[in-house]
Amino acid sequence: MEQEPDRRSILGWATCGLGAIFTAIIGVPIVCYAIDPRHRLGPKSNFKLVEGIKLDELTAEPRQGVIRDVRVDAWTLYPNDVIGRVWVVKVGDKPDLTGDKLRAFNDNTMAEKEKYLRVFTTICPHLGCSVNSEPNKGFACPCHGAEFKLDGSRANNANPALRGMDTLEWEIDDTDPDSNRIKVKYQNFATSIEEKKPAGS
């Protein structure tokens, strides 16, 4: 009769011990996943670096750049995924960006900044195909024949696109010591309408 409580306490301790072991086995990976720096939210910024573009190498001909960002798909992390592409067109001379002039330039309105560069998304505003550059002419969509001038406007009235190419907000990368790169606020816009509206709005 006296051994019964001891047996129960041993079973109780064994159950608690097994519960603790299983909690550690399952819990430790979850905690490690949660505190991994790759899963932490970084500083909130809508501007993404444009790869493949150096300002000193730009000419009057459009140059294409790539936008990359972190993308999470269910449990899979893509740390360097291509989220879009842009066309960059040099319009004027590169301004003096030494000292505090870089910050002042980035604080300008887009109309002021576009006296130097214009940045377009490569997505055609007609039905969303990828727009190509045409040397010495401007841009053309291979899907339905939409054509655009270098300033992004529609090349003719027979154009199937109801508006010109969509421009993107941009600024010069203030972390680059040579002030030779740009960042853009990359977004997609609704197609097949005259008004430039963010997709899904």
- pLDDT, residue 39, reads 53
Flag whether pLDDT at 151 surpasses 60: yes
Flag whether pLDDT at 129 surpasses 50: yes
Task: Considering only residues 26 and 170, tell me which one the structure prediction assigns the higher pLDDT.
Answer: 170
Flag whether pLDDT at 200 surpasses 90: no
Least Cα distance to 56 among 178, 153, 142 occurs for 178
* CATH 3.30.450.20 applies to domain 47-185: no
- pLDDT, residue 34, reads 66
Flag whether pLDDT at 90 surpasses 70: yes
Q: How confident is the model at residue 37 (pLDDT cuts 50, 70, 90)?
A: low
Task: Considering only residues 24 and 158, tell me which one the structure prediction assigns the higher pLDDT.
Answer: 158
For the segment 94-115, the average pLDDT, to the nearest whole number, is: 92
Flag whether pLDDT at 40 surpasses 60: no
Task: Considering only residues 153 and 16, tell me which one the structure prediction assigns the higher pLDDT.
Answer: 153
Q: How confident is the model at residue 4 (pLDDT cuts 50, 70, 90)?
A: low
Q: How confident is the model at residue 136 (pLDDT cuts 50, 70, 90)?
A: confident
- pLDDT, residue 72, reads 80
